């Protein structure tokens, strides 16, 4: 629920959807240390506001399932490889957040207990309640579902007040603003409008899950320092997608 004003915290608990590409900065793949540090600092500052923060991280900076399928790997296997890529990002993000002095915990929907804690709703709620930034890797744990859908699923089952979708642009546009200079930004959309207009910032399953559970989605740019904190406080440019 949108319950605050600028410079105050708008929600008690949120899930931040962070793509793998957001962590590679100017590189063509992998992790860009200054970018990882900037995002970790932003998450730590956001947690300091008193917000309970879950982060669903993608793996596209290492491997995307759909790309593997294009190379002849069957889709289920390719998606499994992609889920492993999200765990690598989750562990890196957990470490970077802790280096900023903020407690964090990585959980994976693909059980690998020698590496990190397996995901369960109870475990995630426990960490959130203790003020830890809870990094959720492994997608949904199943092939054929994107990490966007994973973010909407975790947002619903963890009773989050909002989904913060971090992108490379400052909201949802009528067309790709990098290709069409006439594209205009939506200030507000409904989930049904986003689905009907085939808005590609998230997949249809993610929009539908958020709609059915009445969770607003805030679409904003992750390019600047403090972007997550600004979105939490209602500052800056963004698009809000509401029920």
Q: Residue 4 above 70 pLDDT?
A: no
> 16-163+190-225 has which CATH code?
3.40.1160.10
Mind listing the pLDDT tens digit for each residue in 73-124? 998 999 999 999 999 999 999 999 999 999 999 999 999 999 999 999 999 9
Tell me which of 1-5, 14-18, 88-92, 205-209 is least confident: 1-5
Domain boundaries in the chain?
16-163+190-225
The answer to whether 84 and 143 are in contact (CB under 8 A) is: no
Q: Is the pTM of this model over 0.85?
A: yes
Q: For residue 6, what pLDDT is reported?
A: 37
- Dist CA 66 CA 235 (whole Å): 35
The answer to whether 36 and 57 are in contact (CB under 8 A) is: no
> pLDDT tier at 220 (50, 70, 90 boundaries)?
very high
Task: Classify burial at 7, counting beta carbons within 10 Å of its beta carbon; exposed 0-12, middle 13-18, buried 19 or more.
Answer: exposed
> pLDDT tier at 2 (50, 70, 90 boundaries)?
very low
- Tokens representing 223 are 């390019």
- 14-39: string of b/e by CB count within 10 Å (b at 16+)? bbbbbbbbbbbbeeeeebbeebbebb
Mind listing the pLDDT tens digit for each residue in 56-77? 999 999 998 777 667 789 989 9
């Amino acid at each position: 629920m949108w319950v605050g004003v600028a410079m105050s915290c708008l929600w008690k608990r949120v899930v931040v959807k962070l793509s793998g590409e957001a962590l590679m900065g100017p590189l063509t793949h992998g992790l860009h240390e200054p970018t990882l540090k900037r995002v970790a600092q932003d998450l730590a500052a956001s947690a300091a506001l008193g917000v309970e923060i879950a982060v669903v991280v993608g793996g596209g900076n290492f491997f995307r399932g759909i790309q593997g399928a294009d190379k002849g790997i069957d889709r289920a296997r390719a998606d499994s490889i992609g889920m492993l890529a999200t765990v690598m990002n989750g562990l890196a993000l957990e470490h970077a957040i802790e280096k900023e002095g903020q407690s964090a915990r990585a959980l994976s929907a693909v059980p690998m207990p020698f590496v990190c804690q397996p995901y369960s709703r109870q475990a995630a709620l426990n960490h959130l309640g203790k003020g830890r930034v809870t990094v959720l890797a492994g997608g949904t744990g199943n092939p054929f579902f994107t990490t966007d859908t994973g973010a909407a699923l975790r947002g619903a089952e963890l009773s989050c007040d909002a989904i913060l979708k971090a992108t490379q642009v400052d909201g949802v546009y009528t067309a790709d603003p990098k290709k069409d200079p006439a594209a205009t930004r939506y200030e507000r959309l409904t989930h049904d409008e986003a689905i009907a207009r085939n808005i590609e910032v998230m997949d249809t399953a993610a929009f539908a899950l958020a709609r059915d559970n009445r969770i607003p989605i805030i679409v904003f740019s992750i390019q600047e320092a403090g972007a997550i904190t600004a979105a939490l406080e209602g500052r800056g440019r963004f698009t809000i997608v509401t029920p």
